[in-house]
Structure 1
Amino acid sequence: MSEHYYTKKPQTASDRRAIEVTLRGHRLRLASDAGVFSRDGVDYGSRTLIDMMEFRDDADVLDVGCGYGPIGLAAARLAPRGHVTMLDINERAVALANENAAANGIVNAAAMQSDLYEAVAERRFDVILSNPPIRAGKAVVHRILTDARDHLREGGALWIVIQNKQGAPSAKAKLQEVFGEEAVEEIGKDKGYRIYRAKMV
């Protein structure tokens, strides 16, 4: 069985590649590598979240499970007067995310190695974004959803993308349990991917 991306220190041999993508009208050149999520190109779920996410241009944003950085870096372009903190348990992904920020001249984003919210335990944000690491298991995914509430400011929102067949209904139910039914909205869907927003009200 091959090693998956939800690991602190990938043992898979490095196999770097360059990806050129346009996300929300911004052209980015991203470095990717073996042992990180979706290393061959930005996955459809992440693209769907990027296309639908909305927040103020001065928002303080957290990207949980950032991989090599496409969601967080796109967010940084959408919030030029704000800041994006990117977290991943995978040290190779964190290094790539920081490298990609620098290579694209994005100065308002930085990545840190963290097991979920560990590195930002005392911090709160205006926005939390996540394409949850499904292969890490339901317990990890649900921790991202439940613990988000402790890291959002009043009026803040969690945005997640999740596939129907990979647990969208149970994720929505968990969000409603944590945030309240009225606070959870399906923002959109595309090819089986659903975008949920849960607001602090």
Structure 2
Amino acid sequence: MTNHHYFSQTPESESNPKYWDYTLKGRTFRFKSDSGVFSKNEVDFGSRLLIDTFDVPSIEGPILDAGCGYGPIGLAVASITPDRTIHMIDVNERALSLAEENAALNHIENVKIYESDRLQQVEETGFAAVLTNPPIRAGKNIIFDIFTQSYEKLATGGSLWVVIQKKQGAPSAFKKIESLFGQAEWVDRSKGYHIIKAEKY
């Protein structure tokens, strides 16, 4: 069976890189993408909604982009929080390589980009925020692991931000997050996509 899902560690699809420009948070970014990564032709609507909705936390601390892909969420957040370190993680080696190239292309230095299966290789704790556009096709167990491990890595007062489509499990994701955090809220929704936010107390 060919192993080239975007959540695979080593995509087997033939490389076919492409470049394009996209404006996020008022800044025009140059992105390089490739086969075997999520939404290779444009910044997907869910990620754009998450970027637009995200509020920079009032508490200090690093921020984590869990499942960064080629980097649009993490790099957009890094560009508006130059005083923070943005950790960008993914299991997909090709995506991580692209994220590193895109950080360099856009002259963004306040990022740490590295491989992690869920958040298992994230050694740092005390994150002010975790953002994720979770890998839906990887399955509910993996997605729920991301939520659980995010809670563990967040500082008190830190927040988890999730974008997920209603048809892809937003109600069950909300219930899981609510059970972990004791509360959660819907902060935005558009075109079937929902933004869930939960703060750790």
What SS does structure 2 have at the residue aligned with 1:98?
Answer: helix
Cα deviation, residue 21, structure 1: 0.3
Large movers: runs of 4+ above 6 Å? none
> Would you say the 8 A contact 1:60–1:125 is kept in 2?
yes
> Would you say the 8 A contact 2:68–2:74 is kept in 1?
yes
Which amino acid is the alignment partner of residue 171 of structure 1? A
Which amino acid is the alignment partner of residue 112 of structure 1? Y
What SS does structure 1 have at the residue aligned with 2:121?
Answer: helix
Matched pairs, number? 199
> Would you say the 8 A contact 1:149–1:200 is kept in 2?
yes
- Identity fraction in percent: 46
Q: Distance in 2 between matches of 1:152 and 1:134?
A: 22
In structure 2, what is the equivalent of residue 189 of structure 1?
189
What SS does structure 1 have at the residue aligned with 2:178?
Answer: helix
Alignment TM-score, normalising by the size of structure 2: 0.95
Cα deviation, residue 90, structure 1: 0.3
Alignment TM-score, normalising by the size of structure 1: 0.95
Unaligned runs of 5+ in 1: none
Q: Distance in 2 between matches of 1:93 and 1:64?
A: 12
Cα deviation, residue 56, structure 1: 4.2
Q: Note the alpha carbon deviations across 1:162-192, whole angstroms, 9 max, x for none.
A: 00000000000001110013xx111110101
Q: Distance in 2 between matches of 1:86 and 1:30?
A: 16
Q: Note the alpha carbon deviations across 1:18-37, whole angstroms, 9 max, x for none.
A: 02100010110000000011
**RMSD of equivalent CA atoms:** 1.4
Unaligned runs of 5+ in 2: none
Q: Distance in 2 between matches of 1:187 and 1:78?
A: 20
Q: Note the alpha carbon deviations across 1:34-71, whole angstroms, 9 max, x for none.
A: 00111111100000000100114864110000000000
Cα deviation, residue 149, structure 1: 1.0
